């Protein structure tokens, strides 16, 4: 009803947009309704629709009985939404929208593959001409180590000394050993399988036994993973701390205190945590997937801003972590790597310009 109302109200408020941009399955009916009921009406003529997929796992699947009674879709248009034995909101939006975007260029390519597409690969392959990826951005005013009020000490890329105080204070708060030379690995994440936590389960003991790192994680999710990290905290007292829930001030403190930031995701459409980590001088260790691949490049050649691994393997993840720990021991080189990351631009200004280019291209080309 919201999607239909958003279109129906436009003449009543005398607002005639050039572009109507809908996001995810919750508003997928907007381009569908527009195509079926409004595109040929005089007031709406010339308007274009864009649909963004943030995570293709969530598609808005429902039984076919909803089509006419609830959604009001006429019988000739039902095939737009049909996919398999149900109706699929995202499928319908992909069919109807003038352009389809995802939240990173790599993810736009990945979802053409059955491994990532959750059953929608065929329709996306057929409509790949209208598909592109634009990275999300972060609020660089909220996430700014120079002014962040949540931090114990502020710092900048030019003067990063405050980061050491943030680390010491967080170690004290979380009952971690006061060891400034031990690299602190942070995670702020949903505790679900897609975030690669099964890799951590497989490699955690080796990671702790083969390095001198400390580890802190903040998040909540599946019982299996919460229980695992509670057990690791008990097993490695003074080196591991697991914090559960959504605690904004603590998340900021973890970004600021961490030397490394781990994201071994199975899939990551865009990812914001690695961008925030870079801004706070926490060097990311990530799997090369989705937005992680587009924002983090391996520093092995002396030019990257983090450490990456390609295969979804606990051995490969552990190898990347060990390379990062070895890099941390080179204090002069580490300062250069930190600064390189802190100077990356992941502001919304860059992303907004990409969307403006997309909108202008759509209006110019007329389809």
Assigned domain for 142 exists: no
**So what's the pLDDT on residue 201?**
97
Per-residue pLDDT of 208-227, as tens digits, reads 999 999 999 999 999 999 99
228/122 same-domain check: no
Assigned domain for 190 exists: yes
44/169 same-domain check: no
Assigned domain for 354 exists: yes
256/300 same-domain check: yes
Query: From CA 153, how far away is CA 218, in angstroms rounded?
Result: 20
75/209 same-domain check: no
Cβ neighbour number for residue 328 with a 10 Å cutoff: 22
**So what's the pLDDT on residue 366?**
66
Query: From CA 237, how far away is CA 170, in angstroms rounded?
Result: 15
Assigned domain for 301 exists: yes
118/259 same-domain check: no
78/191 same-domain check: no
Contacts of residues 350-357 at CB distance under 8 Å and 24 or more positions apart, as own/partner, are 350/135, 350/137, 351/134, 351/135, 351/136, 351/137, 352/137, 354/134, 354/135, 355/134
166/126 same-domain check: no
277/355 same-domain check: no
**So what's the pLDDT on residue 288?**
98
Per-residue pLDDT of 66-80, as tens digits, reads 887 788 888 888 889
Which residues 6+ apart lie within 8 Å of 98 measured at CB? 31, 48, 49, 50, 130, 362, 367
Assigned domain for 208 exists: yes
User: At CA 294, angle to CA 345 and CA 356, rounded to 5?
Assistant: 60
Assigned domain for 196 exists: yes
Question: Which portions of the chain are predicted below pLDDT 50?
Answer: none
126/200 same-domain check: no
- What is the CATH number for 193? 3.40.50.2000
Q: Burial of 18 by CB count in 10 Å (0-12 exposed, 13-18 middle, 19+ buried)?
A: exposed
293/354 same-domain check: no
**So what's the pLDDT on residue 367?**
61
Pair 349, 285: CB distance under 8 Å? no
203/303 same-domain check: yes
Assigned domain for 72 exists: yes
**So what's the pLDDT on residue 72?**
87
Mean pLDDT of the chain: 95
**So what's the pLDDT on residue 312?**
97
* Domain, as residue range, for 356: 2-137+350-365
123/271 same-domain check: no
Indicate the angle between helix axes 197-210 and 314-329, nearest 10 degrees: 40
Token code pair at residue 100: 């389809």
Query: From CA 51, how far away is CA 20, in angstroms rounded?
Result: 9
Counting the structural domains of the chain, the total is 2
Assigned domain for 87 exists: yes
């Amino acid at each position: 009803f919201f999607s239909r109302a958003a279109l129906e109200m436009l003449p009543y408020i005398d607002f005639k947009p050039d572009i109507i941009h809908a996001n995810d399955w919750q508003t997928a009916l907007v381009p569908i309704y527009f195509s079926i009921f409004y595109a040929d009406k005089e007031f709406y003529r010339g308007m274009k629709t864009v649909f963004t997929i943030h995570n293709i796992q969530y598609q808005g699947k429902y039984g076919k009985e909803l089509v006419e009674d609830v959604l009001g879709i006429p019988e000739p248009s039902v095939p737009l939404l049909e996919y398999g034995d149900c109706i699929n909101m995202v499928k319908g939006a992909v069919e109807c929208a003038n352009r389809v975007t995802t939240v990173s260029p790599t993810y736009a390519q990945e979802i053409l593959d059955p491994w990532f597409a959750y059953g929608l690969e065929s329709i996306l392959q057929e409509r790949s001409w209208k598909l592109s990826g634009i990275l999300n951005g972060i609020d660089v005013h909220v996430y700014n180590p120079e002014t962040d009020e949540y931090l114990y000490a502020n710092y900048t890329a030019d003067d990063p000394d405050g980061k050491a105080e943030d680390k010491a204070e967080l170690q004290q708060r979380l009952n971690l050993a006061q060891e400034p030379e031990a690299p602190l690995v942070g995670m702020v994440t949903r505790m679900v399988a897609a975030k690669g936590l099964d890799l951590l389960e497989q490699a955690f003991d080796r990671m702790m036994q083969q390095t001198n790192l400390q580890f802190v994680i903040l998040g909540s999710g599946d019982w299996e993973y919460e229980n695992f990290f509670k057990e690791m905290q008990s097993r490695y007292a003074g080196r591991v701390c697991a914090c559960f829930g959504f605690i904004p001030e603590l998340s900021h403190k973890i970004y600021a205190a961490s030397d490394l930031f781990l994201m071994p995701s199975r899939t990551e459409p865009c990812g914001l945590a690695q961008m925030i980590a870079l801004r706070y001088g926490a060097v990311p260790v990530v799997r090369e997937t989705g937005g992680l691949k587009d924002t983090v490049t391996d520093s092995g050649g002396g030019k990257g801003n983090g450490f990456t691994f390609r295969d979804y393997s606990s051995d490969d993840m552990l190898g990347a972590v060990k390379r990062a720990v070895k890099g941390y021991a080179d204090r002069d080189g580490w300062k250069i790597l930190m600064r390189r990351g802190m100077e990356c631009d992941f502001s919304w200004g860059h992303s907004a310009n990409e969307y403006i280019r997309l909108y202008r291209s759509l209006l110019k080309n007329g389809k």
